[in-house]
């Protein structure tokens, strides 16, 4: 039972355009969500997060939207840059189970110059 | 420099030969965790620790052991490795928020250990 799903294994966009990465979850106890970015041969690095009490969080070119009723979140990158090319992981946590994190399978983003 | 270090970075071993992958963080983080990454399966949590001598199972703990005797170190032990444990392993750490779940905080990941069990 995969509780966090990223249904698009890959996404290709043109430099300067918007990248939208999607994540769905099934566990209604999840109340905190994070996005991580991973380059080859490196560990993941934190990008942005959102609490379930919000529906949007922005940090520069990155915005995360949360739709609790649909159990769906998305990461928007505007404008996309070639350096954004990486694997993006969505992660979810529940306050009732401190320390446990559930990750999606990841989406490989390629931004073409 | 704040970092999470893992050793070794690459390891090829044979079935049944006990091994330990070390993980150390210099950020005084309370929370540490081990993950494995396999193609098409994302990151799966193996074990996590909320503080010294406090550990708990993640989603895929079978075949692994951990210990947290010191705050900075969290070794992963494979007592009898098998080929299905061939994977890329990541250690991570994060601060605990006072009164809040540790997993709410961003995790800092090590560079990864690529393990091959023949």
Partners of residue B112 in chain A, C-beta under 8 Å: 41-43
B68-117 confidence digits (pLDDT tens): 999 999 999 999 999 999 999 999 998 866 445 554 678 999 999 999 99
> How many whole angstroms separate alpha carbon A104 and alpha carbon B73?
27
Q: CB of B85 within 8 Å of any CB in chain A? A: no
SS3 A78: coil
B42 with A9: Cβ contact below 8 A? no
| Mean pLDDT for all residues in chain A | 94
The enclosing H or E element of A79 equals none
DSSP state of A9: S
Banded pLDDT at A17 (limits 50, 70, 90): very high
Q: Inform me whether the pLDDT recorded for A6 exceeds 80.
A: yes
Partners of residue B41 in chain A, C-beta under 8 Å: 105
What's the pLDDT score for residue B2?
A: 85
B31 with A9: Cβ contact below 8 A? no
What's the pLDDT score for residue B92?
A: 96
Q: CB of A7 within 8 Å of any CB in chain B? A: no
| HEC secondary structure over chain B | CCCEEEECCEEEECCCCCEEEEEEECCCCCEEEEEEEECCCEEEEEEEEEECCEEEECCCCCCCEECCCCCCECCEEECCCCHHHCEEEEEEEECCCCCCCHHHCCCEECCCEEEEEC
What's the pLDDT score for residue A50?
A: 92
Mutate to test the interface with A, among B4, B10, B107, B111 (most CBs of A within 10 A): B107
């Amino acid at each position: 039972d995969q509780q966090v799903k990223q249904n698009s294994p890959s996404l290709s966009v043109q430099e300067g355009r918007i990248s939208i990465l999607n994540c769905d979850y099934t566990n209604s106890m999840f109340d905190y969500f994070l996005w991580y970015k991973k380059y080859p041969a490196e560990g993941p690095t934190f990008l942005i997060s959102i609490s379930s009490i919000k529906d949007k969080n922005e940090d520069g070119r990155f915005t995360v939207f949360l739709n609790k009723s649909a159990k769906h979140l998305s990461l928007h990158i505007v404008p996309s840059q070639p350096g954004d090319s990486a694997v993006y992981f969505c992660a979810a946590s529940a306050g009732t189970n401190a320390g446990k994190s559930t990750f999606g399978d990841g989406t490989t983003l390629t931004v073409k110059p | 420099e704040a970092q999470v270090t893992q050793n070794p970075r690459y390891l090829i071993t044979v079935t049944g030969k006990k091994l330990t992958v070390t993980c150390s963080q210099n950020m005084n983080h309370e929370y540490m965790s081990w993950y494995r990454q396999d193609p098409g399966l994302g990151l799966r949590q193996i074990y996590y620790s909320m503080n010294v001598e406090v550990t708990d199972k993640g989603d895929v703990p079978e075949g692994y052991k951990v210990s947290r005797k010191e705050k900075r170190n969290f070794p992963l032990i494979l007592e009898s490795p098998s080929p299905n444990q061939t994977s890329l392993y990541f250690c991570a750490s994060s601060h605990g928020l006072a009164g809040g779940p540790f997993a709410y905080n961003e995790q800092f990941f090590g560079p990864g250990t690529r393990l091959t069990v023949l």
